[in-house]
Amino acid sequence: MWRRLRCLAALALLMPSMAAMALPGFSEVRAAHRPSDAWLLARDGTPIAALRLDRTVRRLPWVPLAEIAPALRRAVLVSEDKRFLDHAGVDWQAAAAGAWSNLRNEKTRGASTISMQLAGLLDAESRRKGRRNLLEKLDQAAAALRLEQSWSKDQILEAYLNLAPFRGELEGVAAMSRGLFGKWPQGLDEQEAALAAALLRAPNAGTAVVARRACALLREMRREALCHDLDAVAATTLANVLHRADQTPQLAPHLARKLLARPGQRLRSTLDADLQRFAGETLRRHLRALDKRKVEDGAVLVADNATGEILAWVGSSGELSEAPDVDGVTALRQAGSTLKPFLYGMAFARRDLTAASLIEDAPLTLATGNGLYAPQNYEPEHRGWISARTALAASLNVPAVKTLVRLGADEFQEGLRRFGFDSLTESGDWYGYSLALGSADVSLLALANAYRTLANAGRWSALRATADGKSAPCRGEHCGAFTGAPRQALAATASFLVGDILADRAARAGSFGLESWLATPYWSAAKTGTSKDMRDNWCAGYSRRYTVAVWVGNASGASMHEVSGIAGAAPVWRDVMDWLHRGDDAGRHRTPSVPPAAPPGLVARDIRFEPKRTQRPNRHAANGSSPAPNAPSFVPPQPRRWRASPTRRRAR
């Protein structure tokens, strides 16, 4: 009764001050709490990256009182407010003792209760000023009395621990516990709790002062035995903030920087956490194996063919790179031979070529405005008359340039734009004949979606990186992979022919051998590429369900030492593709990939070359096109039989 009367009397005395200060409710304060970080979540809600967006303070998510160690709660009450559970917001006994000590010019512990301190923390102006005069103290006392009328004691203590500054930029019990001790608040022991409570009174005090106050607090709690090594514990803990406050694994930092926009944001992405981790580890493992070849960077992108969801976005090799912040997924690099499938696909669609058309692989010199252009194959020899199938599968340069001459550079550039290569802003004539060999700069992002377009029968559609599909990882120029209406970039028949060639291990055997990183035990179509001076190498390809694209090189643009696409990017591509299809004992199911059926418009025909030794087995030909003596139309037969031709044996 007397306690209630004293409270009412105080309320009457302080009513004018209280009227000027409106206090929020507990739920409102908790809802308004904003961590300094934002989090990128995997498709299942697992945090896979954290990004600090508020640089003025280090604050983590709100921690319920039940998840704070009892040792810390007890130490804070003993240190800051012994009669917290008994008073109604103001400790009149402590206030009277403090006033008497002030009259006698004696130093004493402050009389501010936890409720009063919380009232100050809730008042932005009060927090800004720090020290308070008598009138402001009265305002704070009035607010504390009012706070106790609407908040429970547990709510007051919980809010205080989540809002109080502890050390430097560390604000709130979660940031303090993670930053100083490397653990969550529920795991703090009595020594750590005493040190944390001692920081509340002087967050930036020296190590010796904090240790002395913590020891005094332990003695007050009759735990003085814990003081014997407290100086060393304090020195280790407080000399530096040794721990990263947020311990979220940084699996997708590049995508996080592109998507996260505000403190406290928790954005669900389309990434698969296990795949993201595996792709990053695989990239680093293969790069370490190439450390003598002057290569340190790489990037991986994985997409679901049907939905366009990005399942993995590895922007760099992390600690192996001298420029780990550069995002290799969106950086523009020379495409190399990875553009050849689109070149041949356009020629097939226009019926300038069929897969069986013969192209002479022989020395070639073309006149240009800058002089003569003489393309060379990766290997110095020429193979004579070969089919378009072999020319593409074996990645021969001279036949590709001849195909570009037949198609036209402008039409090729326009066709690449339809596939989403919006970085090709100049005309085809500006790029010249070298466009056939990938002299243009493209991003791994655009390349992956272009190969996904081939997997989808030539139908282009936008990629998606977030669960709601509303946030795009990039904005503005060269970000077309996430915007635009679906469109038919290439005829379905031509896309099928390209995929069938890229899946034909016998056709590429002359350059890569029958057993290479591209020869998967399931159906897949893939192409490698290496840019001029071995500055970049690529491997992009798809199965029936997934598209995987890999870039390997140096962010600085420095040349690698004898690292081609089949040696650098292809092993990473194969490991990631195998992971997607093989399943595991943890519940990830095996995903089959069988050859696609030929679309309408393709028919099976016997194709024969003259002389007879170049005879080829039964093929699919474009419906309505009669094979000419020197340019028969075909795609390979279904895998019921196969016989390598003498032409291939000579090329090998």
Residue 623 and residue 501 share a domain: no
- The pLDDT value given to residue 101: 56
Q: Strands 37-41 and 266-268: what pairing?
A: parallel
Could you tell me if 99 and 172 lie in one domain? yes
**Are 83 and 207 contained in the same domain?**
yes
Q: For residue 253, is it within any domain?
A: no
pLDDT of residue 281: 97
Question: For residue 320, is it left (φ>0), alpha (ψ between -120 and 50) or beta?
Answer: alpha
Contact 435, 339 (CB under 8 A): yes
Residue 262 domain-assigned?
no
User: 292 exposed, middle or buried (CB, 10 Å; 0-12, 13-18, 19+)?
Assistant: exposed
Band of residue 316 on the pLDDT scale cut at 50, 70, 90: very high
User: What are the tens digits of pLDDT across the range 557-570?
Assistant: 999 888 877 889 99
User: How many helices and strands in the chain, by DSSP H and E?
Assistant: 24, 20
Residues 6+ apart with CB under 8 A from 402: 359, 360, 364
Model confidence at 253: pLDDT above 60: yes
Which residue shows structure tokens 């002359």?
A: 510
> Which tokens hold the place of 335?
């495409």
37, β-bridge pairs: 52
Query: Is position 587 within any domain?
Result: no
Q: What is the pLDDT of residue 640?
A: 31
Q: Cα(513)–Cα(561) distance, rounded to whole angstroms?
A: 22
Mark whether 356 and 432 lie in a shared domain. Answer: yes
Q: Do 226 and 305 belong together in one domain?
A: no
Residue linked to tokens 């998507």? 259
Judge whether 599 lies within some domain: no
Q: For position 2, what pLDDT does the model report?
A: 46
Residue 152 has pLDDT above 70, yes or no: yes
Residue 265 lies inside a defined structural domain of this protein: no
Model confidence at 374, in pLDDT bands (50, 70, 90)?
confident
The mean pLDDT value for 145-160 works out to: 94
The residue among 222, 238, 254 that closes a domain is 238
Average pLDDT, the chain: 85
Q: Is residue 255, in this structure, part of any structural domain at all?
A: no
Rounded to whole angstroms, the Cα distance separating 297 from 537 reads 11
Average pLDDT over residues 327-350: 96
CATH of the domain at 379: 3.40.710.10
Contact indicator for 71, 214 with CB cutoff of 8 Å: no
Same domain, 379 and 508: yes
Residue at 258 is within a domain: no
Residue pLDDT, tens place only, 52-88: 999 999 999 999 999 999 999 999 999 998 988 888 8
Q: How many CB atoms lie within 10 A of CB 593?
A: 18
DSSP letters for 191-231? HHHHHHHHHHH-TT--HHHHHHHHHHHHHHTT-GGGGTTHH
- In a shared domain, residues 340 and 433: yes
pLDDT one-digit tens code per residue, 271-314: 999 999 999 999 999 999 988 888 999 999 999 999 999 999 99
514 and 642 belong to one structural domain: no
Q: Which is more confident, 515 or 406?
A: 406
What pLDDT sits at residue 242?
55
Domain that holds residue 371: 275-582
pLDDT at 576 (0 to 100): 98
Confidence band, pLDDT 50/70/90 cuts, at residue 243: low
Do 63 and 16 have their domain in common?
Answer: yes
Compute the average pLDDT of residues 608-633: 43
- Residue 632 pLDDT exceeds 90: no
Share of the chain above pLDDT 90, in %: 63
- Predicted pLDDT at 172: 96
Highest averaged pLDDT of the listed ranges 99-108, 338-347, 431-440: 338-347
Q: Per-residue pLDDT for 3 more than 80?
A: no
Residue 344 resides in a domain: yes
pLDDT one-digit tens code per residue, 215-224: 999 999 999 9
Q: Average of pLDDT values for 113-124? A: 88
DSSP 8-state code for residue 438: T
Res. 164: pLDDT tops 60:
yes
The more confidently predicted of residues 116 and 20 is 116
Domain count, the chain: 3
Rounded CA gap, 638 and 623, in Å?
Answer: 17
pLDDT of residue 309: 97
Q: Among 55-64, 127-136, 369-378, which stretch is predicted with the lowest mean pLDDT?
A: 127-136
pLDDT score of 54: 93
Percent of the chain beyond pLDDT 70?
A: 83
Is the per-residue pLDDT at 248 higher than 90?
no
Confidence at residue 433, expressed as pLDDT on a 0 to 100 scale: 93
Q: Is residue 372 within a helix (H) or strand (E), and if so which, with residue range? A: strand 371-373
Has residue 319 got a pLDDT over 60?
A: yes
Cα distance between residue 174 and residue 180, in whole Å: 10
The alpha carbon torsion through 637, 639, 645, 651 (nearest 10 deg) reads 110
pLDDT digits (tens, 9 = 90+) for 570-584: 999 999 999 999 988
Q: Torsion over CA of 445, 450, 453 and 458, rounded to 10 degrees? A: 160
Say if residue 614's pLDDT is above 50: no
Residue 648's pLDDT band, with cuts at 50, 70 and 90, is very low
The pLDDT confidence band at residue 617, using thresholds 50, 70 and 90, is very low
Q: Assess whether 572 and 619 both reside in one domain.
A: no
pLDDT in tens, 476-505: 667 789 999 999 999 999 999 999 999 999
Q: For residues 540 and 395, what is the distance between their CA atoms, to the nearest angstrom?
A: 14
Query: Could you tell me if 555 and 647 lie in one domain?
Result: no
Whether 186 and 301 share a structural domain: no
Query: How much is the pLDDT for 634?
Result: 38
